[in-house]
Amino acid sequence: MVMAGMRESRAMRVLFLLLVLGLSGASPPPEPVACTRGTSDCTVTNAYGSFPDRAICRAANATFPRTEQELVAAVAAAAAAKRKVKVATSHSHSFPKLACPGGRDGTIISTEKLNRTVSINKGKRLLTVESGMLLRDLIKVAGDNGLSLPHSPYWYGLTIGGMLATGAHGSSLWGKGSAVHEYVVGLRIVTPAPASQGFAVVRELGADDPDLDAAKVSLGVLGVISQVTLELQPLFKRAVKFVTRDDTDMADKVAVWGGLHEFGDVLWLPSQGKAIYREDDRVHVSTPGNGLNDFLGLRAQPTLGLLTARAAEERLEENGTDIARCLAARLPAATSELQAYGFTNDGVFFTGYPVVGFQDRIQAFGTCIDSPEDGMLSACRWDPRIRGGFMYNSGVSVALSKAPAFVADVQRLRDLDPAAFCGMDAKRGVLMRYVKASSAYLGKAEDSLDLDAIYYRSYTEGTPRAHSDVYDELEQMALRKYGGAPHWGKNRNFAFDGAIAKYPKAAEFLEVKDRYDPDGIFSSEWSDQVLGIRGSPSVVRPGCAIEGLCVCSDDTHCAPEQGYFCRPGKVYTEARVCTFGSARPIDEL
């Protein structure tokens, strides 16, 4: 009776919340740019409604060009006035502050309405699209014409402009590799120009233009990419299989796995000591099968479920025990394994591995952005209008040659206290993917193993996370001991400290930037910080290491009043991490 009553009152509360939230929204993700007076007086955020420093940016106004001409006019207006300007996309999925124009009086140019196919040449397998096109639509256009983009991120809610700007990738060491920018053979970019040229010009960069190596991965600081031409391949089929093994030989296996399978990746569940190997290769198009990859985690989620799951997660994080957290981590892993991670053999049922299907049905997913408007009854799990899956996402690429030693180090850290890693397992685990060395100046300098981990973020600034020390140590190990490069579109501030020094061609990039945008109107405080031009991406203030804004060098950077002090790492002793425990200063340890 009492239990039923409690459940009922919770259900009432949730229903009430649903009604309140339902009044204000649609279920597709909200716009990252919001203006109070028409298109002026705007705020800019990302898809999660929060940058790493929890700030929201401001811009004087926003424009939504529909044609290249309108785009040129927008850039010219900003250049003539030497006004700061930045591109935002329909959802702006990058975690760091990439979407903010410098200062508070800049202009936002949204590529939301620049999402058409410009031309398609089936014979030469060339596809030209406007830069605001979503990966989902690009895959569809290609597939409908018997073509495929061989590699891409796994989530299709990203735009072609955003993927290029941040060097986004899937997983492969074969052919040209897994980064989308490797398939670019031409683009049109609108940059500032002298008054004599009308303050803005369209630069057309062909495959042999050396500037393409700057424009392919640009953090958006060179100008606005208007159109992109990609060299595609004939539509092919893939056969996918997941094999779960224990992780004892994983350090050696990751070194060779990417060579064995064209689309291979490895998902590591550290606390459970398991590795899920993705065996994924091209097969002949006559191979039977019409498989579909509709990844469970990126389907539309019922709002009610998101709220309940978050509440449970907050209780576990704040007041749970390791035993409870580890138990809770097992269920999602087991369920998604049982449900084949959302793969089906025919679009409806999963009957067994391998799943064989066309590339355009396998390469990427994300049906939560396709969900019909339903008054907030369902949404993507990170929708900021719902108190749902608020998270951090770290992505670091370690040179493949160093990957076995790095993985062995993390395993050593895990072996000291496997339960400390349960939070990582609960959020899908650590995804390890392959990225090839690139000629792009801000692309990967070497063949790399890219690590990707999602983890809990509190809604309250400065709240310590259970076992944050192992996450911090893992990231510092990847970035500092093994010289890894942070994904430009993921991570917390501290990860970008010194990042530019990891790019041997950074000077070439900056030369192009000075030529294309001498007044730096496309540059912002953040881009200057990460490119090593001015200031540091780290923010040093009380509690900064708890928020990932700095690496601690002093207890006040953690949360001493809550028992978290700045301590050396356990395996990588040069790491400095916020650890729960004794109050002795570092130099006494």
Which stretches of the chain bind ligand FAD, using CB under 6 A?
86-89, 91-94, 98-99, 111, 131, 153-155, 158-159, 161-163, 165-166, 168-169, 219-220, 224-225, 489-490
**φ and ψ of 130, to 5 deg:** -75, 155
Applying CB under 6 A, among 27, 63, 128, 538 the residue interacting with ligand NAG is 63
For ligand NAG, how many residues bind (rule: CB under 6 A)?
Answer: 13
107 contacts ligand NAG (rule: CB under 6 A): yes
Neighbouring CB atoms inside 10 A of 330's CB total: 15
Among ligand FAD, ligand NAG, none, the one that 154 touches (CB under a kind-dependent 5 to 8 A) is ligand FAD
Q: Which stretch binds ligand NAG (CB under 6 A): 255-263, 282-290, 314-322, 534-542?
A: 314-322
Question: CA-CA distance, 341 to 318, in Å (whole number)?
Answer: 29
Among ligand FAD, ligand NAG, none, the one that 162 touches (CB under a kind-dependent 5 to 8 A) is ligand FAD
Neighbouring CB atoms inside 10 A of 429's CB total: 25
Count how many Cα atoms sit within 13 Å of the Cα of residue 333 in the half-sphere of its side chain: 25
CB 102 within 8 A of CB 60: no
For residue 151, give Cα distances in angstroms to 52, 163, 468. 28, 12, 33
Ranges within 355-384 binding ligand NAG (CB under 6 A): none
Among ligand FAD, ligand NAG, none, the one that 52 touches (CB under a kind-dependent 5 to 8 A) is none
Among ligand NAG, ligand FAD, none, the one that 505 touches (CB under a kind-dependent 5 to 8 A) is none
Applying CB under 6 A, among 92, 110, 115, 538 the residue interacting with ligand NAG is 115
Q: If DSSP codes are grouped into helix, strand and coil, which group holds residue 323?
A: helix
Among ligand NAG, ligand FAD, none, the one that 115 touches (CB under a kind-dependent 5 to 8 A) is ligand NAG
For residue 254, give Cα distances in angstroms to 261, 278, 297, 450. 11, 11, 25, 11
How large is the C-alpha radius of gyration of the chain? 23
Shortest distance, position 579 Cβ to ligand FAD, whole Å: 30
Applying CB under 6 A, among 318, 370, 373, 519 the residue interacting with ligand NAG is 318
116 contacts ligand NAG (rule: CB under 6 A): yes
In the DSSP assignment, the letter for residue 480 is I
387 contacts ligand NAG (rule: CB under 6 A): no
125 contacts ligand NAG (rule: CB under 6 A): no
Q: Is the Cβ of residue 118 or residue 251 nearer to ligand NAG in the bound state?
A: 118
Ranges within 249-308 binding ligand NAG (CB under 6 A): none
For residue 391, give Cα distances in angstroms to 55, 381, 527, 540, 548. 16, 10, 23, 22, 12
Q: Is the Cβ of residue 188 or residue 238 nearer to ligand NAG in the bound state?
A: 188
Amino acid identity, position 389:
G
Spell out the residues 6+ positions from residue 448 whose beta carbon is closer than 8 angstroms to its own.
397, 398, 399, 400, 403, 434, 435, 436, 437, 484, 485
Q: Is the Cβ of residue 382 or residue 406 nearer to ligand FAD in the bound state?
A: 382
Q: If DSSP codes are grouped into helix, strand and coil, which group holds residue 384?
A: coil
Shortest distance, position 177 Cβ to ligand FAD, whole Å: 12
CB 395 within 8 A of CB 180: no
Judge if the upstream peptide bond of residue 354 is cis by omega within 30 degrees of 0.
yes
Residues in touch with ligand NAG (CB under 6 A): 60-61, 63, 81, 107, 115-116, 133, 137, 314-315, 318-319
